[in-house]
Amino acid sequence: MVLAVQSSGQRRVSRRSFLLAAGALGAGFALDGCAPAQSSTAATEITFYVSKPEVIGYFDRVIEQFHKSQDAVRVVRDSTSSMSADFVRNQPPDLGCWNYNFAVAEFVKHGALSDLSDMAEAKSINPKLWPLVDQTAQYPGRTSAIPYSVMAASVIYNKDVFAKHGLSVPTTRSQLVKICQTLQDANIAPFYNTIKDTWTVGQGMFDYSVGGMVDVPRFFSALGSEGTSLNAGSAASFQKDFKAPMDRMLQLAAFANKDAASRGYADGNLAFAQGKAAMYMQGPWALNEIAKTAPALKLGTFPLPVTDDPADLKVRVNVDLALWIPEASRKKDAARQFLSFLMRPDINDKYNADNNGFGVRKDAPPASNPALAGMQKYYDDGAFYLGASQLIPASIPVSNYAQSIALGSAPDALLKTLDADWARLALRNV
Amino acid sequence: MSLIRTSRPSRTSSPSRKRRVEPVFYAFLLPTVLAFTLAITVPALMGITLSFTDSVGFGEFKFIGLTNYIAAFSDPAILKAYGFTIGFALVTVVLVNVVSFFLALGLTEKIRAKVALRAVFVLPMVISGIVIAYVFNFLFSNSLPDFATAIGLKPLETSMLANPDLAWLALVLVTAWQAVPATLLIYIAGILSIPADVYEAAALDGATAWRKLASITIPLAAGYIVINVIMGFKGFMNAYDVIVGLTGGGPGTSTTSVAMSIFNGFGSGDYSYQMANATIFFLIAIVIALLQLRATHGKTTF
């Protein structure tokens, strides 16, 4: 209740919600929205941002549950893509539940997010995940965000097609190439590629090929120390270190549907669900989309073999959702209260089970979807990497470059451009 | 036209007679001036200021002089975006104006179903750009390749949007399809405002249709051509939604427009750098506008 007393004076309708209310439904709704403010219940109202539109329903039910469990904190859920604008106006949400990638990186690096290291929830996190968080962005001495859900991505394969042709999951490159040839001879597209949508190329064949043979964290830290002087002669460079992965990527691009250049993500999900290809380089988010067309399709996953050494097998991960509380929030205690509620094992685990995520706590159960079982071992062993396309700053259109390479441009020229872009970025970020 | 034309005499004649302007006119201007200042001028000045800093859009920043500008001028990605945007705007403005001018000629003649046809041609104007882009995206990615395969037209069997050399053409076509109606309406109004007796006189003198077009219609509609070209060019320089929906700036970076690169900087920590880009873009737009006004000076009636 101390909480409530402290903040009762700060209660205000945010500019966004006010404009939305006024604009969309007129004065009636606006008055309605203000009504609780005049009532005597002294609850603290916090804004809660969720970045994924497909999970809003889940969080709305959690919020309802939270409201039933206590009276001191009211949560207003908001989903908007203009998070940057709200930080610019110094009116960020009180609690964010956001994809932990370059979109949040700047806020972390500039200390716009508060330290959560003292929370019990931070201590419950699987320690193997912290390097992923820090690699994306960190602020010295702070735990700026707590992972909520991790997505692991690799090759999705159609178990029936594999069984029909007597194929088993490959662990080396040669096995993979042999599988591709067998399928091609049987007139089945080995891979379904969707080159029209740049991001699918970036997160798929590009990231998998790089992560399967390059030590991603070490490469990027070496690149960071090169800075403006990055060129072909540097200890680490895109031209040198990404050349082999790009050649392997192109080798696989040849084993794909003939119309890959004009296909997008939605086309890919549909075609794969219809059994038009055996393998699909997509993340677990595609599983639910595929299930819309073919709910009974038996799917499995395996990390893309890029070398002939099975020890190199790794899965691509990303911190799909992480919780954070901005420094600018004036209701941090209330936000922390809701954060703790969200992190309760039953709520956190249910979220991950429903959304094909991997658990983030030390005591989290394995992924429940059988299609993800092929990645569990790698995830548990920490055999994972953050996608290179996510570690290159967003101002460098790396997925577009990857698309060009997949469409037939010479990799060398584009890798050289990448090096030059990186050096230029270092120049203006001095 | 009538609106624009009448504004001239009132402006030149009234101040010479009357010293004082009715204060109510200032009141008319006030809302627009306020809105313009708050929504355009102030943010623009803030943006220009930030272009000399290392700001990422929020938090602390320090002034770094011309670093962003120097980096921008040596950035091939930005130079390429300018090349693409200006080329795209030039081709589109020519295509749009030629098509709409001739459509307007047809639609002002005594043809059947004139009103219905006008309605059909104006239809694209009421559909939002992103919707148009998605519909055409489907056509270019599916229908056109299927059609090309059926008739054996090799180069078009893969989507135009996936071809770095052809994607821009697809963008020009879709943008033109969307932009023709507004231009067309202005041309129809312009052509209808040409007095009929001029044509009658020409007909009596035995002028051919071609001669009437070249010596009457085009000169008397010159003001409308200028307006359409200037407005069109300015609009196409800002191309954004159709490109996002059709190619996302690809394949590769071949169709990334300046507006897209500026906007992308907002979410990627490249805020001040792209503000510098925006400032350069603004200056270029001003120069183009001045050149166009100068080139057309005296050729218009307003």
CB contact under 8 A, B269 and A394: yes
pLDDT in single tens digits along all 430 residues of chain A: 333 333 333 434 444 444 444 444 443 433 344 444 444 457 899 999 998 888 899 999 999 999 999 999 999 998 765 777 788 778 899 999 998 987 788 889 889 999 999 999 999 999 999 999 999 889 999 999 999 999 999 999 999 999 999 999 999 999 999 999 999 999 999 999 999 999 999 999 999 999 999 999 999 999 888 888 888 788 899 999 999 999 999 999 999 999 998 899 999 999 999 999 999 999 999 998 999 999 999 999 999 999 999 999 999 999 999 999 999 999 999 999 999 999 999 999 999 999 999 999 999 999 989 999 999 999 999 999 999 999 988 888 899 999 999 998 899 999 999 999 898 888 776 5
Number of CB pairs, chain A paired with chain B, less than 8 A apart: 108
Helix (H) and strand (E) counts for chain A?
A: 23, 9
CB contact under 8 A, B251 and A397: no
User: Residue A101: closest CA among chain B residues belongs to which residue?
Assistant: B268
Residues A246 and A307 reside in one and the same domain? yes
Residues A287 and A417 reside in one and the same domain? yes
Q: Is A91 on the interface with B (CB under 8 A)?
A: no
Residues A174 and A305 reside in one and the same domain? yes
In a domain? residue A37 = no
In a domain? residue A22 = no
Q: Please, which residues 6-65 of chain A have a Cβ atom closer than 8 Å to chain B?
A: none
The domain locations on chain B are: 74-295
**Residue B249's pLDDT is what?**
86
In a domain? residue A411 = yes
- Domain spanning B74-295, CATH class: mainly alpha
**Residue B157's pLDDT is what?**
82
Q: Is B193 on the interface with A (CB under 8 A)?
A: no
A111 min Cα distance to partner chain B (Å): 9
Residues A72 and A214 reside in one and the same domain? no
Polymer length of chain B: 302
Residues A127 and A158 reside in one and the same domain? no
Interface test with B, best of A199, A259, A409, A421 (most B CBs within 10 A): A259
First to last CA, chain B: 9
pLDDT, tens digit, 9 for 90 and up, residues B21-76: 788 888 899 999 999 999 999 999 999 999 999 888 777 788 988 989 988 888 88
C-alpha distances (whole Å) from A54 to each of A289, A315, A322, A331 are 11, 24, 16, 27
How many angstroms separate the CA atoms of B40 and B44, rounded?
Answer: 6
User: Residue B139: closest CA among chain A residues belongs to which residue?
Assistant: A262
> Which of A197, A409, A428 is opposite residue B67, by nearest beta carbon?
A428
pLDDT tier, B13 (very low <50, low <70, confident <90, very high otherwise): very low
Q: Which two tokens stand for residue B45?
A: 């000045």
Residue numbers of the domain that contains A135 = 2-12+44-151+319-371
How many angstroms separate the CA atoms of B118 and B165, rounded?
Answer: 34
The percent helix, strand, coil of chain A (3-state, each to 5) is 55, 15, 35
Task: Give the torsion sign (CA, B25, B31, B33, B34).
Answer: positive
CB contact under 8 A, A84 and B267: yes
pLDDT, tens digit, 9 for 90 and up, residues A146-200: 999 999 999 999 999 999 999 999 999 999 999 999 999 999 999 999 999 999 9
Residues A279 and A410 reside in one and the same domain? yes
**Residue B109's pLDDT is what?**
85
How many angstroms separate the CA atoms of B146 and B157, rounded?
Answer: 7
**Are the CB atoms for A389 and A203 separated by under 8 Å?**
yes
Report whether pLDDT(B113) > 50: yes
Contacts of residue B58 in chain A, CB cutoff 8 Å? Answer: 84, 87-88, 90, 107, 110, 112
CB contact under 8 A, B251 and A400: yes
**A28 or B181: whose pLDDT is higher?**
B181
CATH number at residue A126: 3.40.190.10
Q: Is A102 on the interface with B (CB under 8 A)?
A: yes
**B299 or A65: whose pLDDT is higher?**
A65
The percent helix, strand, coil of chain B (3-state, each to 5) is 75, 0, 25
User: Residue A266: closest CA among chain B residues belongs to which residue?
Assistant: B138
> Which of A264, A395, A404 is opposite residue B251, by nearest beta carbon?
A404
Q: Is B273 on the interface with A (CB under 8 A)?
A: yes
Residues A246 and A332 reside in one and the same domain? no
How many angstroms separate the CA atoms of A305 and B259, rounded?
Answer: 40
> Pairing state of beta strands A315-324 and A146-158?
antiparallel
Contacts of residue B162 in chain A, CB cutoff 8 Å? Answer: 195-196, 261-262, 407
Q: Is A4 on the interface with B (CB under 8 A)?
A: no
In a domain? residue A379 = no
Contacts of residue A90 in chain B, CB cutoff 8 Å? Answer: 58
Contacts of residue B264 in chain A, CB cutoff 8 Å? Answer: 394-395, 397
**Residue B258's pLDDT is what?**
93
For residue A160, what is the DSSP state? H
Residues A89 and A219 reside in one and the same domain? no
Residues A127 and A235 reside in one and the same domain? no
Residues A299 and A182 reside in one and the same domain? yes
pLDDT tier, B9 (very low <50, low <70, confident <90, very high otherwise): very low
Interface test with A, best of B52, B56, B69, B261 (most A CBs within 10 A): B56
How many domains, in total, are found in chain A? 2
What backbone torsions phi and psi does residue A277 show, to the nearest 5 degrees? -150, 165
Residues A143 and A176 reside in one and the same domain? no
Average pLDDT of the residues in B153-181? 90
How many angstroms separate the CA atoms of B257 and B81, rounded?
Answer: 5
Q: Is the peptide bond prior to A345 cis by the omega test (within 30 degrees of 0)?
A: no
Query: Over the range A247-277, which residues count as b (16 or more CB within 10 Å of their CB) and which as e?
Result: ebbeebbebbbebbbbbbbebbbbbbbeebb
- The secondary structure of B242-300 as a DSSP string is HHHHHTTT-STTTT--HHHHHHHHHHTT-HHHHHHHHHHHHHHHHHHHHHHHHHTTTTS
User: Residue B268: closest CA among chain A residues belongs to which residue?
Assistant: A394
In a domain? residue A25 = no
